[in-house]
Structure formats: structure tokens, C-alpha cells
Amino acid sequence: MNVSFSSNPIIDDEGRNIGYIAIQEDITERKKKDKKLIKSLKEKKVLLSEVHHRVKNNMAVISALLELNLYQDEKEDIEEFIRNSQLRIKAMANVHELLYQQETFSTIPFKEYAQKLVDSIISTQTESKFLPKVLLEIDDVKLNINQAVPVGLILNELIINSMNHAFKGQKNPEIKVKLKNRDSYIFLTVRDNGTGIPGNIDFSEMRSFGLTLIRILSSQLEAELEMKNIPDGFQTTLTFERNLGLKGASASFI
């Protein structure tokens, strides 16, 4: 128990000290509140510093993405380049938007994030003659921001790639996204019912910007990446270990 004690002398009309008055107060709760306040202020200072650090990192990511695109053999037209860059930036902005709504500034609910990402992509495709149906099957799992950003960018690239290239002449285009959490591992699967990759093309030799980015981000995650034709389309599977305590710059993939 914490106690506050104070005393003052009692002086009579002739100036003589005739006694003392003492006040004793239990300040245990006040001390607890003070400690919580000090702890909270310290945490907010650390978190604010972390936010600035992450914003700086993701600005570096944007710069690196734009620079990487300059060195690709397959050049996009200006409109497609701007649209795709906009979606990549939005994919990172959504991370921060969700991050600020959490109790901590280190993890985000990936199910909600995936839906926001898909909504952003679809909103930019309003001029398309058709839109594939995008089906999400995402476990309720939180990812560390340093994993959520690259996973989000990979998912963004895979969905854009399917929308742009997989469904020529397809009547009922569909993209299925699954993310499963098993023990300490995450399994992300993206499949479409499109035309797949022509058999005469060596998939491992393809060097488009999107595929290059996917490979780099997968390496950053230390993930196992499998991309292949399936009987009714094309499928990509990403497997990596979930790490909630991961530290480091999310911009270190270029």
C-alpha cells in the first residue's frame, strides 16, 4: 500500500504550539494510474517511432518498384503502368489503414486486408467489358506487417495478372484465393479457370515485371513458391512460416 502523509502545527492565539494535525491518505490507486500513464506514454513514443519507420520503408518500396519496372524488357503502356502502380501503392496503404485500427502497430487481420485489396483492384477495372468473380476463403489470421506487405503485393500481382491475361474468350472467369493457417505455417493459393501458360513457353524463363516481383517477394518471405498450369486453369501456391515477431525493413526486397 502507498500512503501520503502530511502534518501541520496547531498554533493558538498567543502563538504557542499546542499540537499537530496530521493527514494520511491511501494513494495506491493513484500510483497505479501514474505508472500506467507513464508506461502508455513510453509505448506511444515507441509506436510513433515505429510508424515513421514503416512509412519510410514503404516509401522506399514504392521507389524501388518504379525503378525495377524501368529495367524490364516487357514495357507496359503508360495507362497500364499508372494503373498497376496505383494498385501496388494502394496495397501498401491498406496495410497502414488497418494497422492504425489495431491495438498494436505490428500485426493486421489478413482476411479484412485481402477483401480491401480485392475491392481496390475491382474498382480500377470498371471500364473492362467483364470482371472475373473473385472468391475469397481466408482464415482469421493476423500477420506481422513485414510479412503482410509482401504477401499483399504478391496477391495483388497474381490477381492483376489473371485479370489481364488469363481469360481471353472465357465465358465465366473466376479467381479463387485461399489462405490457410496450419500450425505456424501460412498456405496461400491463387487459382483461376483461365487459359494457363502455353505449353511452348518456359515458365521459369519468363521475366515480366509482375513475375519478377513475385519471385523477389517470395524470397524475402523465405517462402516456397509453386506456379503451374492445372487442368482447368493456372495455380500459384505460396508457403511460408508465420512470424509475428519479425523485425526489419519491409523495403529490403530490391
Q: What would the pLDDT profile of 81-128 be if each residue is shown by its tens digit? A: 677 777 777 777 776 676 666 666 678 889 998 998 888 888 876 555
Residue 201 confidence (pLDDT): 67
CB 187 within 8 A of CB 180: yes
Residue 102 confidence (pLDDT): 60
Residue bearing cell 503485393: 153
- Residue 75 inside a domain? The answer is yes
Torsions phi, psi for 8 (to 5 deg): -140, 145
Q: What is the CA radius of gyration of the chain?
A: 28
- Enter the C-alpha cell of residue 225: 513458391
- Residue 20 inside a domain? The answer is no
Residue 9 confidence (pLDDT): 79
Q: Which of 42-51, 87-96, 179-188 has the highest mean pLDDT?
A: 179-188
- Residue 151 inside a domain? The answer is yes
- Residue 128 inside a domain? The answer is yes
Q: Model pTM?
A: 0.69
- Alpha helices of the chain — where are they, by DSSP H? 28-70, 78-99, 110-123, 145-165, 209-220
Tell me what the pLDDT averaged over the chain comes to. Answer: 77
- Residue 28 inside a domain? The answer is no
Burial of 75 (0-12, 13-18, 19+ CB in 10 A): exposed
Number of domains in the chain: 1
- Residue 48 inside a domain? The answer is yes
CATH code of the domain covering residue 50: 3.30.565.10
Torsions phi, psi for 110 (to 5 deg): -75, -25
Banded pLDDT at 129 (limits 50, 70, 90): low
Give the domain range for residue 181.
34-241
254 pLDDT higher than 50: no
- Residue 4 inside a domain? The answer is no
- Residue 6 inside a domain? The answer is no
